[in-house]
């Protein structure tokens, strides 16, 4: 393990030890705000309106805000009133939705005054029928989907400059709040009062909402990598897992406006009662701020990992990750009593507990690390992956060696280990494995035979807490 990983190990270990007794959901909730720094913009410091309708970060890096008092572009320092400075293309306070095509063209949909597209500092206005555009979605550079308020759904062909109606009566008498392409290749249409429809190649079918009345009123739909689907509605959040639709009871009766999949595979949930995050199944729910009454309309993640939350009446928030995480039972660990940590070559972290179980943390997701040897509830301490990919698990019944193929060998006093109370494993530059024990010094294994170091042949103590290598002045590793 290099110096960086050693430091990571000790930092995380201190954090986990500190949290040994922090088991309650409310305790974790109280601490979550300390993981982030926040900035807030309102009419007091730069915004023309604190009520934000939509937010988007363009591929060029600008943050775009649609507010009740204009279209804004933020460059990291100043807010530029974009519509006011381009009156030939924008009617004041009239833009309600934004999307972007892969070629970095921005598309702005208005209430009754068409579409404006913007690329390379050039603005082009596209006339549309006099409908109110509620949602706009770019499937690709050519196909732009338009959802309206009570006037149906349209498809704009950018290559031909034509607009055609998806002419189904079921779409004509309701507002379109969501448009997006599902992993099934169908265009999903979420409506304000008539549920969800799927469209493909001239065919329209209605999504089976399984008699969940709240799914008549869709705000947003999110598809996540494990196949689950999150439905944000005016009266709660629902998740489709397999064939079943489940309610997230914490949001029962709460207006849920939007869900975002973050780069660390969390679902960021914007609600009328603040901002939350969960795992990909809607479990391990946490509030960014407890007892919040912020009406969060939408949250995006920028290229640096910060969250930007657009709110109604409270302006814009930037939530900056302080890059320190705590993991407890509430996040999915088997226990808060941690014995040891080990980082694998794939970047994941193994967490050994004092009850004989091991968790694996990978990209913020917690799972049980698979191994077959029973530890009978004994403590797990040091965990090390050697240069050959073998994982050495130190416990109070001996040391488990798990090979890359999954084969496991338990070393104890019957096959070479001097004392079964093992605390840590260390690999030296020659590939030797050094096992530090609680009462019997060090057992060194070269893959064929064992040798031993203890008080009888030079150690000052038989209780080993750490083994490190160092460079001598001559440049040799000792």
User: pLDDT by residue (tens digit) across 406-438?
Assistant: 999 999 999 989 988 999 999 988 899 999 999
Coil/strand/helix, residue 456: helix
Q: How far apart are CA 100 and CA 347, in angstroms?
A: 33
Name the token pair of 122. Answer: 């050039």
The sign of the dihedral angle between the CA atoms of 20, 24, 28, 30 is: negative
**How many whole angstroms from its chain centre is CA 245?**
22
Cβ–Cβ < 8 Å for 386, 433: yes
Unique residue bearing structure tokens 């103590």: 461
Q: Exposed/middle/buried for 478, CB within 10 Å: 0-12, 13-18, 19+?
A: exposed
pLDDT at res. 21: 32
User: If DSSP codes are grouped into helix, strand and coil, which group holds residue 97?
Assistant: strand
How many percent of the chain have pLDDT more than 90? 64
- How large is the average pLDDT for residues 469-477? 54
| Residue 431 and residue 387 in contact, taking contact as beta carbons nearer than 8 Å | yes
Residue 7 has pLDDT above 70, yes or no: no
Closest CA to 46 of 14, 80, 84: 80
Whether 332 shows a pLDDT value over 80: the answer reads yes
Task: In whole angstroms, give the CA distance from residue 43 to residue 48.
Answer: 6
Phi, psi of 165 (to 5 degrees): -90, 140
Residues in the chain: 478
CA-to-CA distance for 108 and 97, rounded, in angstroms? Answer: 6
Q: Parallel, antiparallel, or unpaired: how do β-strands 316-321 and 442-445 relate?
A: unpaired
Task: Kindly tell me if the per-residue pLDDT of 284 is higher than 50.
Answer: yes
Q: 31 — phi, psi (to 5°)?
A: -95, -15
CA atoms within 13 A on the CB side of 225: 8
Q: Express each pLDDT in 148-207 by its tens digit.
A: 999 999 999 999 989 999 999 999 989 999 999 999 999 999 999 999 999 999 999 999
Rounded distance between C-alpha atoms, residue 389 and residue 387, angstroms: 6
Closest CA to 379 of 359, 407, 353: 353
The better pLDDT of the pair 364, 432 is held by 432
Closest C-alpha among 352, 365, 344, 446 to residue 393: 352
Structure tokens belonging to residue 334: 């088997």
Strand boundaries in 33-114, DSSP class E: 36-41, 52-57, 63-67, 70-74, 79-81, 95-100, 106-110
Quote the CA–CA distance of 348 and 237 in Å, as a whole number.
31
Query: Does the pLDDT value for residue 5 go beyond 80?
Result: no
Q: What is the pLDDT of residue 325?
A: 67
* pLDDT tops 90 at residue 267: yes
Report the Cα 64 to chain-centroid distance in Å.
22
Q: What would the two tokens of residue 64 be? A: 């775009």
pLDDT surpassing 60 at residue 477 = no
Rounded distance between C-alpha atoms, residue 445 and residue 1, angstroms: 18
CA-to-CA separations, 13 to 19, 28, 164, 327, in angstroms, rounded: 10, 17, 60, 10
pLDDT tens digits, one per residue of 439-448: 999 999 999 9
pLDDT band at 465 (very low <50, low <70, confident <90, very high): confident
Does residue 471 have a pLDDT over 60?
no
Look at 11-20, 53-62, 105-114, 371-380 and tell me which has the smallest mean pLDDT. Answer: 11-20
CB 161 within 8 A of CB 196: no
The predicted structure's pLDDT at residue 206:
96
Is residue 219 within 8 A of residue 233, CB to CB? The reply is yes
Question: For residue 8, what pLDDT is reported?
Answer: 41
Predicted local confidence at residue 19, as pLDDT: 33
- Mean pLDDT to the nearest integer, 59-82: 90
Region 207-218: mean pLDDT is 96
Best CA proximity match to 155, nearest among 173, 171, 139, 172: 139
Q: Average pLDDT over the chain, rounded to whole?
A: 87
In this structure, of 29-43, 82-96, 292-306, the range with the lowest mean pLDDT score is: 29-43
For the residues 30-56, what does the mean pLDDT come to?
A: 80
Q: What angle do CA 436, 441, 444 make, to 5 degrees?
A: 60
97 closest CA partner among 52, 61, 139, 142: 52
Quick one: pLDDT at residue 470?
A: 63
Taking Cα atoms as reference points, which of 61, 72, 75 lies closest to residue 98?
A: 72
3-state secondary structure of 404: coil
d(CA 179, CA 436) in angstroms, rounded, equals: 59
Average pLDDT over residues 273-287: 94
pLDDT of residue 203: 96
């Amino acid at each position: 393990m290099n110096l960086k990983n050693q430091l990571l190990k000790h930092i995380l270990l201190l954090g986990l030890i500190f949290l040994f007794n922090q088991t309650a959901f409310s305790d974790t909730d109280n601490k979550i705000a300390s993981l982030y720094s926040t900035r807030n913009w309102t009419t007091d410091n730069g915004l023309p309106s604190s009520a934000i309708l939509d937010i988007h970060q363009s591929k060029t890096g600008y943050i775009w805000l649609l507010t009740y008092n204009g279209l804004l572009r933020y460059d990291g320092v100043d807010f530029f009133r974009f519509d006011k400075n381009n009156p030939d293309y924008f009617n004041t306070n009239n833009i309600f939705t934004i999307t972007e095509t892969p070629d970095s063209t921005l598309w702005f949909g208005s209430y009754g005054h068409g579409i404006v597209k913007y690329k390379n500092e050039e603005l082009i206005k596209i006339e549309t029928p006099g409908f109110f555009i509620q949602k706009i979605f770019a499937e690709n550079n050519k196909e732009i989907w338009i959802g309206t308020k009570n006037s149906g759904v349209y498809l704009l062909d950018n290559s031909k400059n034509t607009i055609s109606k998806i002419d189904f009566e079921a779409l004509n008498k309701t507002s379109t709040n969501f448009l997006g392409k599902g992993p099934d290749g169908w265009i999903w249409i979420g409506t304000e009062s008539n549920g969800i429809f799927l469209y493909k190649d001239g065919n329209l079918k209605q999504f089976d909402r399984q008699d969940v009345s709240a799914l008549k009123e869709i705000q947003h739909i999110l598809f996540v990598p494990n196949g689950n689907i999150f439905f944000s509605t005016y009266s709660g959040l629902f998740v489709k897992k397999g064939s079943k639709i489940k309610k997230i009871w914490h949001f029962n009766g709460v207006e849920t406006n939007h869900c975002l999949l973050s780069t660390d595979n969390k679902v960021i949930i914007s609600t009328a009662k603040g901002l939350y995050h969960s795992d990909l199944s809607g479990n391990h729910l946490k509030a960014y701020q407890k007892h919040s009454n912020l009406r969060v309309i939408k949250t995006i993640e920028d290229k640096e990992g910060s969250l930007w939350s657009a709110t109604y009446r409270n302006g814009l928030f930037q939530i900056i990750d302080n890059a320190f995480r705590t993991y407890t039972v509430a996040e999915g660990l088997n226990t808060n009593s941690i014995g040891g940590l080990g980082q694998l070559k794939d970047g994941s972290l193994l967490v050994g507990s004092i009850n004989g179980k091991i968790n694996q943390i990978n990209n913020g997701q917690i799972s049980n690390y698979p191994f077959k040897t029973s530890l009978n509830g004994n403590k797990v301490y040091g965990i090390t992956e050697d240069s050959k990919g073998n994982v050495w698990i130190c416990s109070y019944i001996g040391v488990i060696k798990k090979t890359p193929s999954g084969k496991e060998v338990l070393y104890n006093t019957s096959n070479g280990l001097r004392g079964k109370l093992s605390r840590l494993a260390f690999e030296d530059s020659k590939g030797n494995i050094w096992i530090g024990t609680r009462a019997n010094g060090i057992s060194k294994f070269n893959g064929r035979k064992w040798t031993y170091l203890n008080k009888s042949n030079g150690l000052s103590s038989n209780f080993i807490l750490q083994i490190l290598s160092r460079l001598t002045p001559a440049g040799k590793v000792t």
